[in-house]
Structure 1
């Protein structure tokens, strides 16, 4: 059976979708199946390294990217389907071609944010992108999503006409050599720190985390720091980075809150390895890759009571009320004081992380490809 995997979007993907695509492609190569022939539209490493459309600095550059993406989905990808004659086309970036295709389609919708949080997206762009998504949900299409929470959210907005399958992904394979430079440059080897990794999207609730950290310092009087690694939100509507910067200044936390921006894999490994705890206060997630990454490094995790995070952690994280800075501070204090709780969370986290292996990620896909499994 031939499976065509669309990897075009890797030329701009920077967050969870990039991890999803890279790990699926890597697993397909690592764990071949005798009855499945995988065909990649692009070499994943080369496509991820293509910076032609990354970080556009003008409206003209953004328009060029959208035109390139549209041309790919609606013309070039259908031509590849005709050329390779796959049995299944997998589009892991929300959008499948609007053109009629002879094969089954598996379209990955990672979450329902476009429907749930319209205020976070430019109006014209959201309307355009939702139109692309809907036009591709046709014929023999099966939707793949990341959690049961996301499945229910998608059914609410898309209905139940198309089958929706839940496939748990695997977190990023962080196998690079550790670069401790980021630790020494920020004096993180001199004091314990809480860590968060990700963009400064509004839904991440990072101002709440900064406020909670201020309360933690006032009550504990300890030499802790907070590291918020990652770039700005993906649009002006979504970006909380300026708000976080101002809050850090207003609260006098310039020496305690570290904002290193984008960090390389080698630096991410170092930040995980040395962290005292990982804090993820997000108000909405489709999956929550960083909490599993942290658990894999033996870091205790505090996360919000958002449904997808509860589903993924399955009792291996310390849960705080979403958007409640006081409750989050109390959980940070508890983690700092209770050594037995900390050790228990570490052990539960390591066990939970093992459940989300690359091999299982691929096997769940293979089952759907080969058996046309019924909706979960």
Structure 2
């Protein structure tokens, strides 16, 4: 059986979708199946390194990218289907071609944010992208999503005319050497800082985290710092980075809140390796990869009680009421004062992280690919 995996979007992907695509391609090669032949539209590492459409600023550049993406999905990818004659086409970036295809489709829709949070996207772009998604939901298509929460959300907005399957993904395999000097460059000590890694999208609730951290400092007089690593939100509507900067200045936390920007895998590993705790205050997630990354490094996690995060953590994290700054502050204090609780969370987290592996990720795909037609 031939399976064609569409990896074109790796030339711009920078968030969880990039991790999903890279780890799926790696797992397919690491754990081959005797009945399945994989065909990649692009070499994963090479496509991820392509700088042609990275960090676009002008409207002309962005338009050129969207035209290139449209040409790929609607003309070039269908041509590859004709050339290689796959039994299954997997599109891991929401969009499958609108053209009729002589094969099964598996389209990964990671979350329902486009429907749940329309205010976070430019109106014209959202309308255009949703149209692309819907036109590709046709023929023999199975939708794949990341959690039971995402499946419930998609059923609410897309209905049940197409089957929706849940496949838990694997966290990022960070093989780079740990940057031994990075913590020192930031003036950090082992277990002397709280950590968050990710973009400054509004749904991440990072201003709330800064406010909770400020209250934590007042109540405890703790020397612990807060590290918020990552770049700005993906659009002007979604970007909370300026808000966080202004809040840090207003609360006079310039020496306590560190904003190191985008990091290499070696730097990320260094921060995970020394963090006292990871804090994930997001108001909406489809999965929540950093929860598993943190747990794998033996870092206890405080997370909002958003359904996807509760599902992924499965009781191995310390949850607080989503959007409740005071509750988050109390959980930070609790983790500092209750060492037995912290040790318990570390133990539970390490065990939970083992439930999400590359082997389990690809085996779930194999089961679905080889599943007999109803």
TM-score exceeds 0.5: yes
How do 1:1-376 residues align onto structure 2 when only pairs under 5 Å count?
A: 1-189=1-189, 192-372=192-372
Report the Cα distance in structure 2 between the residues aligned to 1:373 and 1:197, rounded to whole angstroms. 41
Q: Alignment partner of 2:370: what SS?
A: helix
Shift, 1:179, TM fit: 1.1
Q: Give CA deviations for 1:60-113 in whole Å, capped at 9, x if unaligned.
A: 110010000000000000000000000000000000000000000000000000
- Checking the alignment, whether the CA contact within 8 Å between 1:367 and 1:373 is kept in structure 2 is no
Q: Normalised by the size of structure 2, how large is the TM-score?
A: 0.99
Shift, 1:182, TM fit: 2.6
- Checking the alignment, whether the CA contact within 8 Å between 1:90 and 1:107 is kept in structure 2 is yes
Report the Cα distance in structure 1 between the residues aligned to 2:258 and 2:174, rounded to whole angstroms. 22
Which range is displaced more, 157-166 or 175-184? 175-184
> Number of paired residues?
374
- Checking the alignment, whether the CA contact within 8 Å between 1:31 and 1:359 is kept in structure 2 is yes
Q: Give CA deviations for 1:186-218 in whole Å, capped at 9, x if unaligned.
A: 111277000000000000000000000001111
Q: Alignment partner of 2:226: what SS?
A: strand
Q: Alignment partner of 1:194: what SS?
A: strand
Shift, 1:184, TM fit: 1.0
1:344–1:190 Cα change, 3 Å: closer
Report the Cα distance in structure 2 between the residues aligned to 1:80 and 1:170, rounded to whole angstroms. 28
Report the Cα distance in structure 1 between the residues aligned to 2:232 and 2:244, rounded to whole angstroms. 10
Which range is displaced more, 184-193 or 82-91? 184-193
RMSD: 0.9
1:372–1:338 Cα change, 3 Å: farther
Q: Alignment partner of 2:360: what SS?
A: helix
Report the Cα distance in structure 2 between the residues aligned to 1:269 and 1:341, rounded to whole angstroms. 24
- Checking the alignment, whether the CA contact within 8 Å between 1:171 and 1:356 is kept in structure 2 is yes
Report the Cα distance in structure 1 between the residues aligned to 2:181 and 2:365, rounded to whole angstroms. 39
Report the Cα distance in structure 2 between the residues aligned to 1:216 and 1:373, rounded to whole angstroms. 56
Which range is displaced more, 364-373 or 321-330? 364-373
Shift, 1:371, TM fit: 1.0
Q: Normalised by the size of structure 1, how large is the TM-score?
A: 0.98
**Which stretches of structure 1, 4 residues or longer, exceed 3 Å deviation after superposition?**
none
Report the Cα distance in structure 1 between the residues aligned to 2:58 and 2:314, rounded to whole angstroms. 43
Shift, 1:295, TM fit: 0.2
Q: Give CA deviations for 1:18-62 in whole Å, capped at 9, x if unaligned.
A: 000000000000000000000000000000000100110211110
Report the Cα distance in structure 2 between the residues aligned to 1:279 and 1:120, rounded to whole angstroms. 23
Q: Alignment partner of 1:371: what SS?
A: coil
